[in-house]
Structure 1
Amino acid sequence: MKPVNPKLFATDRILKNLQGNTIKGHGRDHTTHIFIHFDADCLSAAKDWIRSFSEDTITSAKKQLEEREAFNKDNTKVGDLFASLFLSAAGYEALGFTDVHTKFSDQGFKAGLKARRTETNDPEPQEWEKGYRAEIHAMILLADDDLTRMGIFTKGLLDIVDKFSRINVVEYGNAIRNSEKEGIEHFGYVDGTSQPLFLQDEIEAYEQLHGVKLSPPSDNLKFDPSADTDLILIPDPYVAPNPEKPALGSYFVFRKLEQNVRAFKEAEKKIGKQLFPNLGDESKRELAGAYLVGRFEDGSPVLLDDEDSIPNSAHFNNFDYASDPSGGRCPHFAHVRKANPRRDAFDKSRTMARRGIPFGHRDVDTELDPIPAQTPINGVGLLFMSYQASIENQFEFIQRDWANNAAFPADSTGIDPIIGQSAVTATPAERSSDRSYQFPQTYVTPSPTIPAQFDQFVTMKGGEYFFAPSITFLKSLV
């Protein structure tokens, strides 16, 4: 199924039974995430609710893409409230599926996020926020552009869910947009670039934007983002194979990542003064930040220029690092280079469909370019979410072997300065201690590099591994 054309009959049968937000993000600006633990004495009620919720409320991929097409024709049309449901391995077991460890093959999913700390270098669970320390069985995702409508629905849903489960925690996400209406995260950088593309129209739009051809590849093609749905979808293990009505699901990762915005902005300022003494203060900060992230705030790749605002900056993606083996233009440790090396088919097979959204309130809009003293040190961040066909081979591999690996993609690279985490044996004090990186030296001679030290900017506060079951499974739960 490459690429996906929703108008084909064979594809239509798949999309009807697939939960939305998988092959394409739901696109809403506000989200509610409800984490629950099923009451052992109320499992019949829980199953009844899941069946009715999947029948009446869950958004299929088919419906989501129909709403997307309607919006593209008339952008005044607002889609319905979006909803999806995820189960953890413990959640399947709580519902009576005693064979979950034989039905599923992914070791990460079966063990759960807490037990996989040695793979991800996450903090001890007792350091997580309270709501995530207890066992989580399911997550309900609601999303809407109408914040009031979502709030009213959430209130009623919580009253229902409370009758058969314990509510662990409720999280709220709210998109942040820059002046170009592009989604950004709290550090101020365009987020969600370099996503795998599954839809025919998105692939065609990529070709048109970059003036390239993917198949057969044109000579000027540097990066092919097209992806087979096998990258994120697998057959639902609890539904018998049926070619006439395929039932697919996806492994789902949720992580609450708190961002210390003030520390990051201070680091940009400090590094900029060291590296670029001949530039203006704002140019120093912006270029230093681009070295840390690998892109400027507007999305322009630092590999291509030492200034931002290249055409279509937030969507420009046709580049690789073949021309920069030394890291002289884009440092080896830069977040986007660590998380997506863009080298070969192996790298591409490790990618995920990321669906994150910011959380938390800030007093000064990022567009006003606040000074560090006006930026938050906690309480804001990213609700990281991703879909993949294997948590082990995709999310955990990227976090362990790339982001946390100081020797990737070259010796003495250092860990990813944005999402990299220290060794699992590190104490809280060691996790927040200064790290030293060698930056490419472009403007100052004779030294080719300058060491710069800064703290860890992102802290994992809790999360879980889930599976997004097929709608077929959820409707037939007994």
Structure 2
Amino acid sequence: MRLIDQRDFAQNDFLKKLQGNILKGHGRDHTTHVFMHFRVGYEQDARDWIKTLAAENLTSFRQQLKERDLFKKHKTPGNVFCSFYLTPGGYKYLGFGDVEDRFEDAAFNAGMKNRLDINQDPDPQQWEEGLAGDIHAMLLIADDDALKMGKLAKELLVKLEFFAEINTVEYGSAIRNANGDGLEHFGYVDGISQPLFLKDEVDDYVADHGITDLGTAHFDPTADTDLVLIEDPYEAGNNSFGSFFVFRKLEQNVKEFKEAEKNLGLGDLGGAYIVGRFEDGSPVVLTDEEGMINSGGYNNFDYSSDPSGGKCPHFAHVRKTNPRHDFFNGDDHKSHIMARRGIPFGHRNVNTALDPIHAQMPTGGVGLLFMSYQRSIENQFEFIQNAWSNNASFPPIPKPDDTGVDIIIGHPHVTNPPPRNYNFPSDYGADTRTPLTVEQFVTMKGGEYFFAPSIPFLENL
């Protein structure tokens, strides 16, 4: 497997044509997401604006890597990060009527609202209005300086309003613990297990985990770029690539989740069983308490030593969405994994670092802006959501009917949804179980499927 080496000049052309954030997260703490619908009769204005955006504002992966290098060496902050995404409707508006012939992904061509039977999402009438409407494009703006980000966002929005309707603007802000690790609103370190495409990231993984040979590692996170990239169909043969992009707004009821976690009567193990890691990131399959060294980045484990689920239950979120094991002949589980780039949204009056009491926790208005890149929405995002998260019989061992849907993101909106009954280990590592019921505390508020085009495509509109 060939990893990307930023020092390899032969990859320079490829890197400068690819939008940033796909093969490595942009790393900024604040984000602005602008969803838009272009007005009829302003097609040329939209094309001109996108061309200017691509030339002046979009961040190529080469630029992202250069800025990362400067920050690591000299703490030099980078420019405001920008990326741009189109739906099939956006392509058609811009004059590409053959978009459904160019792209083979049925999910992308249909749109998220028309895949309710696959994802088992709530009816779009229950989505937030801005995300339920017809969306042509999304603009992502990000920076560590919220004011700097906001200034550019306003400049671009003022120009956008001439030829586009703004469906909605979503804002994300990172939450961090005392170690600097990113959290989601339930309080758990998030985004640890990611496919790694860069040579220096794999080198760091090997060093951080004390691995001498990746071939003997419990988990090898290395990934080929074709896990998330496809050749831009409108720039074929030009060394130009893009990626399918999924956006979902997931609202979290923190107060009720933490109350349910407490009512399990299992102490810190209750939440660890639900998530698959303790709040600090320590994998519950390896330890019955948090506090591991490198807990917020530890990823060298699998579940081969825990076939019964006595340490990490089969229903645990990280076990269902990344089983680290091939269950079916000819189906490599790693082929379904996505590059996840989510960020929390919503304001909390009491910072998570202060460990707020139950009465201070929000019941809504906060959550995760889930984002992912993949080569195939069907085979990656939708497969994980449908075949794994929403499937009460996955993983299919040892007793398929005892698993249950993913407690965190499993939300089958079907006529007869499976009961949310789960068999928790009676004691850590035990084969005996205690049956408990855990309700749903995450609500999908809307989203859409996009494609992140190559920069040459956008520059040449």
Normalising to structure 2: TM-score of the pair?
0.96
Structure 2 matches for 1:272-287, cutoff 5 A? Answer: 273=265, 276=266, 284=267, 286-287=268-269
Question: How far has the Cα of 1:240 moved from its partner?
Answer: 2.8
Match of 1:290 in 2: 272
Contact conserved, 2:288 with 2:428, CA < 8 A, in 1?
A: no
In the TM superposition, 1:164-179 aligns within 5 A as 164-179=163-178
1:471 aligns with 2:461: no
Cα deviation code 1:56-103 (max 9, x no counterpart):
00000000000000111122x111000000000111111111101110
The SS at the match of 1:98 is coil
Partner in structure 1 of residue 309 of structure 2: 327
Find out whether 1:259 has 2:245 as its counterpart: no
Q: Using the TM superposition, give the Cα deviation of residue 444 of structure 1 relative to its aligned residue in structure 2, in angstroms.
A: 11
* 2:394 paired residue number: 408
In structure 2, the residue corresponding to 1:392 is in which secondary structure?
Answer: coil
Describe how 1:63-212 pairs up with structure 2 within 5 A: 63-75=63-75, 77-212=76-211
Partner of 2:377: 391
**Per-residue deviation at 1:424?**
3.3
Aligned residue for 1:361? 347
Partner of 1:268: 261
Cα displacement string for residues 294-347 of structure 1 (whole angstroms, at most 9, x for unaligned residues): 000000000011100111001111100011111011000000000000014711
Offset, 1:213: 3.9
Distance 1:467 1:79 in 2: 25
Q: 2:218 is matched with which residue?
A: 222
Q: Deviations over 1:359-387 (max 9, x none)?
A: 00111121222222211010000000000
Structure 2 CA distance for aligned equivalents of residues 93 and 115 of structure 1? 18
Q: Kindly state the Cα deviation for residue 214 of structure 1 after the two structures are TM-superposed.
A: 4.6
- 1:214, 1:224 within 8 Å by CA — same for their partners in 2? no
Q: 2 CA distance for matches of 1:314 and 1:349?
A: 24
Indicate the residue corresponding to 1:281 in structure 2.
Answer: none
CA RMSD of aligned residues (A): 1.5
**Contact residue 263 and residue 455 of structure 1 kept, 8 A:** no
1:157 aligned counterpart, secondary structure:
helix
- Which residue type is aligned with residue 62 of structure 1? R
Within 1, Cα distance between the matches of 2:152 and 2:429?
58
Are the equivalent residues in 1 in contact too, given 2:310–2:428 (CA < 8 A)? Answer: no
Distance 1:67 1:366 in 2: 30
Map 1:228-267 onto structure 2 (within 5 A).
228-242=224-238, 246-267=239-260
Partner of 2:414: 424
The DSSP-based 3-state class of the residue aligned with 2:332 is: helix
- Superposed displacement of residue 131, structure 1: 0.5
Q: What is the CA distance between 1:106 and its match in structure 2?
A: 0.4
Q: For residues 473 and 387 of structure 1, do their structure 2 counterparts lie closer, same or farther at Cα, with a shift above 3 Å needed?
A: same
2-side partners of 1:418 and 1:145: how far apart?
28
> Residue 378 of structure 2: SS of its match in structure 1?
helix
For residue 280 of structure 1, what is the aligned residue in structure 2?
none
- Assess if the C-alpha contact under 8 Å between 1:256 and 1:381 holds in 2: yes
Local SS of the residue matching 1:58? coil
1:462 and 2:452 matched: no
Q: Residues 31 and 173 of structure 2 are in contact (CA less than 8 Å); yes or no, is this contact kept in structure 1?
A: yes
- Matched residue, 1:13: 13
**Structure 1 gap ranges (5+):** 277-283
- More displaced stretch, 43-52 vs 2-11: 2-11
Question: In structure 2, what is the Cα distance between the partners aligned to 1:291 and 1:61?
Answer: 37
CA distance in 1: counterparts of 2:383 and 2:251, whole angstroms: 21
- 2-structure distance, mates of 1:442, 1:134: 48
Paired AA for residue 247 in structure 1: S
Q: Deviations over 1:18-59 (max 9, x none)?
A: 000011100000000000001111010000000010000000
8 Å CA contact 1:300–1:310 kept in 2: the answer is yes
Tell me the SS of whatever aligns to 2:385.
helix
Which residue of structure 1 lines up, in the alignment, with residue 422 of structure 2? 437
Residue 157 of structure 2 aligns with an amino acid whose one-letter code is L
Amino acid across the alignment from 1:455: E
- Structure 2: which amino acid aligns with 1:448? T
Give the percent of matched residue pairs that are identical in Structure 1 and Structure 2. 58
CA distance in 1, matches of 2:362, 2:2: 43
User: For the residues of structure 2 that align with 1:268 and 1:451, how far apart are their CA atoms?
Assistant: 14
Question: For residues 241 and 30 of structure 1, what CA distance do their matches in structure 2 show?
Answer: 36
- Structure 1: distance between partners of 2:364 and 2:212: 44
Shift of 1:443: 6.3
Residues 336-345 or 50-59, more deviating? 336-345
How far, CA to CA, are the matches of 2:187 and 2:443 in structure 1?
A: 17
Secondary structure at the aligned position of 2:379 is classed as: helix
State whether residues 440 and 448 of structure 1, in contact with CA within 8 Å, keep that contact through their aligned partners in structure 2.
yes
What is the match of residue 279 of structure 1? Answer: none
Paired with 2:181 and 2:13, the residues of 1 have a C-alpha distance of 33
Q: Find out whether 1:378 has 2:364 as its counterpart.
A: yes
> Taking structure 1 as reference, are residues 247 and 384 closer, same or farther at Cα in structure 2, changes over 3 Å only?
same
Give secondary structure in 2 for the equivalent of 1:332: coil
**DSSP-derived class of the 2:42 partner:** helix
Q: Deviations over 1:216-237 (max 9, x none)?
A: x13xx10000000000000000
**Amino acid corresponding to residue 461 of structure 1 in structure 2:** K
Q: Distance in 1 between matches of 2:385 and 2:244?
A: 16
Return closer, same or farther for 1:213/1:89 CA change in 2, 3 Å cut-off. farther
The residue identity in structure 1 corresponding to 2:452 is A
Which amino acid in structure 2 is aligned with residue 453 of structure 1?
Answer: T
Q: Secondary structure at the match of 2:13?
A: helix
